[in-house]
Amino acid sequence: MNSKLIRYAAIAFFGLIAATASPNASAGFVGRINGTWELTGTPDPNTCNAPTFVNLATITVDGKITNIDPALGAGVGEAYRLTRRTYAVGFFGFIPSDQGVLRYEVQGTLKREDWSHVTGRFRTTLFDPAGNPFCEYEGSIEGFRLVPMPY
């Protein structure tokens, strides 16, 4: 091989690495939890008065999350694999309030029970308009995959 061809191959190789690398090292291939999920969260007893909730979430194969809460709207985030059946998940969003726009952060761990069922734990933190945390609570989560059916 001549040196010019080797140089082009090296540039192409490093270009491919740069193009596919995530700016956040935590994002990555999540495999079998990709899809659309109905997630029910049950907060532990808490001082935030957070109720049980049902959300819809989509997780792409590369770990991107879009979460829709009927009361709060959309949140976005990422997931990555911890072990063969467990995943770290996190998503973030905004809540309009009388005090201004609040921000929330949800961090959790999901375990894939089977192809269509996940369980886990979550922690939600609410931030005031200045970015200071003012309420935090934890709870359990259970989700079931939503699958399109032919009509």
Beta carbons of 110 and 87 less than 8 angstroms apart: yes
The confidence score (pLDDT) of residue 23 equals 41
Cα(92)–Cα(88) distance, integer angstroms:
14
Question: What element of type H or E holds 138?
Answer: strand 133-146
The ranges assigned to domains in the chain are 26-146
Q: Beta-carbon neighbour count of residue 55 at 10 Å? A: 20
pLDDT of residue 27: 60
Q: How crowded is the C-beta side of 137, counted as CA atoms within 13 Å? A: 16
Q: How far is CA 51 from CA 41, 71, 105, in A?
A: 9, 11, 16
* Bridge partners, 144 (sequence order): 38, 117
pTM equals 0.78
What pLDDT is stored for residue 124 in this prediction? 96
Fold of 26-146: Lipocalin (2.40.128)
> Could you tell me if 138 and 44 are in contact, meaning their C-beta atoms sit under 8 angstroms apart?
yes
pLDDT of 71: 86
- Residue stretches of the chain with pLDDT short of 70: 1-28
